[in-house]
Amino acid sequence: MAEKMELNEIEVWDGNYAASQALRQAQVDVVAAYPITPSTPIVESYGAYVANGYVDGEFVMVESEHAAMSGCVGAAAAGGRVATATSSQGFMLMIEVLYQASGMRLPIVLTVVNRAVASPLNVRGDHGDMYAGRDSGWVQIDAFNAQEAYDLTLCAFKIGEDMDVRLPVMVHQDGFVTSHTAQNVKPLQDDVAYNFIGKYQPYEEMLDFTKAVTYGAQTEEDWHYEHKAKQHKALMDSRDVIDRVFAEYKELTGREYNRVEKYFMDDAEVAIVALGSAVETARYAAEELRKEGIKAGVVAPRCFRPFAFDGIREALENVKAVSTLDRSCPMGAMGTLFNEVSAALYTTEKRPLVSNYIYGLGGRDFSVAEAKRIFKEQKAHADAGHLTTPIQQFSGLRGPKLGFFETKRGN
């Protein structure tokens, strides 16, 4: 049996350490991993737990991230709890196998410390990797700070392993800003955390030898479509389980999580929709602006996948202007959040004005002042009754102002 670790009521942890502690407390059977900045400390901390007897599962240090996820898939099919961590280029190398993991309905937990994707090479945080995972069939949950990285990693096991879900789950946090910033974190004691997740329940495991099972069959045009649709439905239906797990976690800890987080949205006229650490920046800016009489609010899709089409519509249908903030360069299109939020809002009666900011690429700082400026710009749109700027703009970018597409559509 693994040694238990006595934890203080409040620990000072960064996001990486918080995630590694959650993996330890989940008593993961196999971690197959490959280190990459900025998620390396998750794997290193786990290595320290192994070396000091705090973990009795297997720790397999493989030769690449593709192999890390491949090892996770093999291990998960063998009927136990599996997790790993990665970032950026490592995430990109894993992508082929991410699709295999979800297609085989294996509840692997992947902690992703978001980082920009080369070229040019960059180790800092943006959401290029997270966005690249969006069609991979995983549940994608986003943590905005270290406490959330810890809480949501625990929840991830319970969500993915639920017999009604059986899908892999990513828990994202921003590289460096979250992963390397020490904050106060309130952890659960080992037993409490483990009991919340519960014992791993195998489904059609390869190590039950009287029940031979084939994993990874091929399907062509006569079967492929049905399997993909079934998987899509499972991901859509995971919304109920996510809600239930968040409710149970609130019961246990008092900390509340929702598929769509809303801050100051009860009477908001203008809003920012964002992911990651920028949510906290925008919240602070909104709070400040409210002192100036601007009814600003923030909406954050806690679940990037399954995307809360319903929750986004409900959160934003009564605002006048919304700016969607995408921390990934969409390369020849509008940002993903813009597209998905716009689609949800198009189905509402009032159809608020929606615009798009690309921001924070490669770890470029996103300040409170900039968030305030964006809110004020939304206020100007709202007052004019139409967008007063190009639909897509760039925040914090040097050089001549860059923007794409215009509309004079009013409300």
Cβ closest to another protein, residue 81 vs residue 320: 81
**If 0-12 CB within 10 Å is exposed, 13-18 middle and 19+ buried, where does residue 150 land?**
buried
Task: Summarize as ranges the residues that interact with another protein (CB under 8 A).
Answer: 29-30, 32, 56-58, 60-64, 66-67, 70-80, 82, 96-97, 100, 103-106, 166, 200, 203-204, 206-220, 222-223, 225-227, 229-230, 233-234
Task: Tell me how far the alpha carbon of residue 318 is from its chain's centroid.
Answer: 26
CA distance linking residue 95 with residue 114, whole number of Å: 14
Q: What is the smallest separation between the CB atom of 90 and another protein, expressed in angstroms? A: 15
Cβ closest to another protein, residue 8 vs residue 218: 218
CA distance linking residue 176 with residue 116, whole number of Å: 12
CA distance linking residue 199 with residue 188, whole number of Å: 17
Residue 84 DSSP label: E
Q: What is the smallest separation between the CB atom of 95 and another protein, expressed in angstroms? A: 11
Question: To the nearest 10°, the Cα dihedral for 180, 185, 191, 193?
Answer: -80
Q: What is the smallest separation between the CB atom of 379 and another protein, expressed in angstroms? A: 47
Q: Which residue has the tokens 């769509």?
A: 260
Cβ closest to another protein, residue 93 vs residue 300: 93
Cβ closest to another protein, residue 10 vs residue 213: 213
CA distance linking residue 18 with residue 183, whole number of Å: 10
CA distance linking residue 201 with residue 334, whole number of Å: 42
Q: Which amino acid is at 16?
A: N
Cβ closest to another protein, residue 63 vs residue 266: 63
Cβ closest to another protein, residue 217 vs residue 331: 217
DSSP result, 241-303: HHHHHHHHHHHHHS----SEEEES-SS-SEEEE--TTHHHHHHHHHHHHHHTT--EEEEEESE
Q: What is the smallest separation between the CB atom of 54 and another protein, expressed in angstroms? A: 14
Cβ closest to another protein, residue 225 vs residue 405: 225
Contact 257, 246 (CB under 8 A): yes
Q: What is the smallest separation between the CB atom of 233 and another protein, expressed in angstroms? A: 7
Q: What is the smallest separation between the CB atom of 61 and another protein, expressed in angstroms? A: 8
Q: What is the smallest separation between the CB atom of 221 and another protein, expressed in angstroms? A: 11
